[in-house]
Structure 1
Amino acid sequence: METGNKTGALKFILLGLSDNTELQPLIFGLFLTMYLITMLGNLFIILVISSDPHLHTPMYFFLSNLSLIDICFSTTVVPKMLVNIQTENKAISYMDCLTQVFFSMCFPILDTLLLTVMAYDRYVAICHPLHYTVIMNSRLCGLLVFITWFTGVMVSLLHISLMMHLNFCKDLEIPHFFCELTWILKAACSDTFLNGTLIYFMTGVLGVFPFIVILFSYSRIVSSISKISSSGGKQKAFSTCGSHLSVVSLFYGTGVGAQFTSIMTHSSQNFLIASVMYAVVTPMLNPFIYSLRNKDVKGALARLLSRVASCR
């Protein structure tokens, strides 16, 4: 059997969400709407944070990076799917698929690590408030974000370097709407033991360990808040963590759901639903969680709108 892995002619076929041609316009309209909401919502968060000096703090610096990552993640996945539906061409070249695998690995890693950094920021703010500005200085914040991006890029490059040594058979159909690594490995006709081992190892290191750090941070936060005597003080302390906890729950809930379905079930449909939740729905909802539940963001929005109105 002829095999190949680095030829320009090699293509993958992304089967998408459904084979039903009657559903394609509905899927196109739904995902286009969600993508536009994701872009506008996250750009809105970045604009509000950058334009308001009251939000030039470590927490909102991390939040603006999270919004940027969500924009990039959605852009990696959704536009190609929309083009495939519109052109009725489900093919994607080998190099384009490699690129999509790289970014679809990189941005979830960045999300995980950045949410962990944000949990540490909340821990310092509530458990060590008097030393907050000293500990969370601009140099440390910049270093944490750099380490986050560096780790995401290097781990993704490691996955890609192993993937480039694989041979692929003639059956290159991928039952997914983007080049998801585990499904790509299933299409390979060469040994994928190292690739699978790396996936499990990195899932533990960059998935489970950060989650443990987040749980530890919030256990200390809850312990500190319980020592506050006034109910108003407790409510204020909890309010600073509510949005972050909601995003963590949404991200890990959908991400773990996708991983669980890929490991425990052979149903590609269940895996597709879980993937849509963490790759499309979560980036769309994050801006709403932070804007609707956060008094600082709503206050900054009011000030921005008043400035815009006064300029007319």
Structure 2
Amino acid sequence: MPLNLPEGKRFAVNIGADFDAHAAWMGSFNLTSPSYLSRGEFGAEVGVPRILNLLRRHDIRATFCTPTHTMATFPEQFRTIVDAGHEIAAHGCYHEAVPTLDPAEERRLMKVTLQHHEKYVGVRPRGYRSPAWDFTALTPTLLDEFGFDWDSSLMGRDFQPYHPRPVVTLDRENGNTFGEPARFLEFPVSWYLDDFPPTEYVPGMNSGFTPINALLEQWIAQFDYAYANEPNGVLCLTTHPQCIGRAHHITALERFIEHVAAHDGAWFASLSEIYDVWTEE
């Protein structure tokens, strides 16, 4: 069950941008002071234009995973992403903490999310990325029920897509039991390929002061390994406009893109474009 990349391509790279704006602070951290909300505003007003300019210069189509709260709060900035031709994937309603939701509320918020995608994007999303990369036991069922092609929230692989299996029985003495694989395809993520933990300062939670050259070296090392050892694989880089949009961070992202582009057969694509070259055979 491999990816069959376009002729001349040997490895796929997705530049993902989680355009959380205010929602990340309100939903994941329950932080609503003017200082925190201003960071989300920076992501919308400064980070998004910088990312779009960078992607345009390098002719890259990215995947913007966007809470619908962001679409409603910053409609003009969101429209620039849509008009630039980038993919819009579901990323919750208000960056809600999915594992804390009861089944009825999780289902309700999924319906609200899809309704708002139809309102602000014009179409339903093909892919989903859970806020903070976590599920409930119900989440895979909802993704299959509502017809998502792919998810990008789990970490059961690093560079190969797969169909995730739920753990249906937890047994500390005799081993856990898996259920049947999901219909949707999983594009694995990694905290090592996410800019938020090393770059965003949250007092008491997150140091956020990793030197940018160290972060860039880590991203390059992972790409170099995958390019050499994981043919027809995919690397999913996760960025956030309020993080990667800072001057020294956007410069590092461009250096990463230039490093990847210098390799024969490297293919930058949206996650749905990558999904479309998957085969079950």
How does the TM-score come out when normalised to structure 2? Answer: 0.28
Structure with the bigger percentage of strand: 2
Say which structure is richer in helix.
1
Structure number with larger C-alpha Rg: 1
